Amino acid sequence: MKRTRSQDLLKRAIPLIPGGVNSPVRAYRSVGGDPPFIARAEGATLTDEDGNTYLDYVGSWGPMILGHNQPEVREAVERALKDGASFGAPTRLEVEMAEWLTSRLPHLEMVRMVNSGTEATMSALRLARGATGRDKIVKCAGCYHGHGDSLLVEAGSGALTFGTPSSPGVPASLAKDTLVIPFNKVQALELVCEENRGRIAAFILEPLPGNMGVIPPRPGYLEAVRAITEREGIVLIFDEVMSGFRIGLGGMAERSGVRPDLVTYGKIIGGGLPVGAYGGRRELMSQVSPTGPIYQAGTLSGNPLAMAAGLATLKILEREGEALYLRLEQLTTSLAAGLALIASQRGVPFTGNHVGSMFTGFFHEGPVTDYVTATQSDTQRFGRFMRGMLERGIYLAPSQFEAGFLSAAHTEADIRRTLDAAREVFEGI
Ligand code: KE4
């Protein structure tokens, strides 16, 4: 594919923006080659600056579950924009968003809107620390909760992709209060609680990790986590920035039946515009400023355009309901099964993990159940696969340690086309 315009734009960007990108994973450093610069998108299709089109399995990293440029979502934003972009004052749309979320999610008694998943997790942690008077937090190796200092310790996603799990710039004095345990291992949580009894404020986890690739929780794991954190007085935070509204309207909290004390959201609830949210038990959330002493604020929090896009997206997801989520799960299952079959026919070690419309193809014999097994994947081979698919117009996440996403705009014909491309690419990698 010719990508001269993208290459020219990258040349212009590099002296001005670190790596020429505004988020590291977009630079394609871990897979090689240069990223196409996207000009527009429609449904399941991206078009780059050179007019090349791609079948999109990134979906802006999760928000575009309805597909790009969904007419009702676009019209909702256009309508809101006519009334002004931002006021820095309370608006009707924020009340409607809070009413919609809290009426559908039993674990969400109160909610505060912010502008990114990072802000949501940072704020939830500050709330947990303020409410408990404890300083330590527990996270899982390979889980990514945004780039807040306390959480950029053995993080996933880009931090994992770059093999620098703990970033410079995170003070050791802060990192020491972040305790890291393996995902899916109950004993590890028991042990860290025993060693830090009475000093752990929160356990934050992706209940369905997508940032070391997709790693489903083992049966009973989340229930055990809930019981232990309950017993220890530890605030359980489900980071559902990725899984929320992605694997079902109620996310992993609904699918697992486990009730977190706090939950974070992002991505889908903004319909592609900048958004984040945190919320949960009233007796915790009522301690947030201005009703309580725990401070958190944001110039554009609850921005009317983001609320309009998010509400339109959520209302369509609710209207389409189970039938949509089932279709997404079926399409994703046939994609994952098809890739695994092609890999096995060519003797390529490959494991497809998928839940709902989130999937990751690990270049690893499998099973892939945590950070250790995920990081044993052949990232070089993944890079060759991803680049080969890109040349055939299939746009996959540019990292072995990310989730891929399907949308309501994907069809069975798209899956067939993807598998046809994979048959060719697997030949050569
Ligand atoms: P943002 O600050 O990027 O909006 O959200 C951070 C975040 C928090 N929690 C979870 C579970 C997340 O997946 C994320 C962000 N996800 C990555 C993709 N793995 C964003 C992509 C990027 O960093 O460019």
Give catalytic residues, as residue numbers: 144, 239, 267
pLDDT class for 160, splitting at 50, 70, 90? low
Domain ranges for the chain, please list them.
4-69+321-427, 71-315
Give me ligand 1 centre to Cα 265, in Å: 10
In this prediction, residue 156 carries a pLDDT of 72
Q: Answer yes or no: is pLDDT of 112 > 90.
A: yes
Q: Is the pTM above the cut of 0.95?
A: yes
Q: What is the fold of 4-69+321-427?
A: Aspartate Aminotransferase, domain 1 (3.90.1150)
CA distances from 214 to 186, 353, 369, 403, 422 (A): 19, 6, 9, 6, 20
According to the model, what pLDDT value does residue 172 have?
A: 85
Would you place residue 153 in the very low, low, confident or very high pLDDT band (cuts 50, 70, 90)? confident
Average pLDDT over every residue of 168-175: 88
- In the reported structure, the alpha carbon of residue 403 is separated from the centroid of ligand 1 by a whole-number distance in angstroms of 11
- 156 vs 384: which has the higher pLDDT: 384
Quote the pLDDT of residue 282. 98
Q: Which atom of ligand 1 approaches the CA of 267 most closely?
A: 4
Rounded to the nearest integer, the mean pLDDT of the chain is 96
Ligand 1: which atom is nearest the Cα of residue 146? 6
The CA 143 to ligand 1 mean position distance, Å, reads 10
- What is the number of other CB atoms lying within 10 angstroms of the CB of residue 190? 14
CATH placement of domain 71-315? 3.40.640.10
Integer Cα distance of 204 and 202 in angstroms:
6
Query: For the residues 232-259, what does the mean pLDDT come to?
Result: 98
Using the predicted structure, report yes or no on whether residue 173 has a pLDDT greater than 90: no
* Per-residue pLDDT tens over the stretch 364-374: 999 999 999 99
The residue nearest atom 18 of ligand 1, judged by CA position, is 61
**Taking Cα atoms as reference points, which of 271, 261, 252 lies closest to residue 100?**
271
Rounded to the nearest angstrom, the distance between the alpha carbon of 269 and the centre of ligand 1 is: 13
For the stretch 9-37, pLDDT in tens is 999 999 999 999 999 999 999 999 999 99
Choice from 61, 212, 265, 355 to test ligand 1 binding pocket (greatest atom count within 8 A of CB) = 61
Closest-lying ligand 1 atom to the alpha carbon of residue 276:
4
Q: Which residue has its alpha carbon closest to ligand 1 atom 9?
A: 145
Cis peptide bond N-terminal to 367, omega within 30: yes
Same CATH fold assignment for domains 4-69+321-427 and 71-315: no
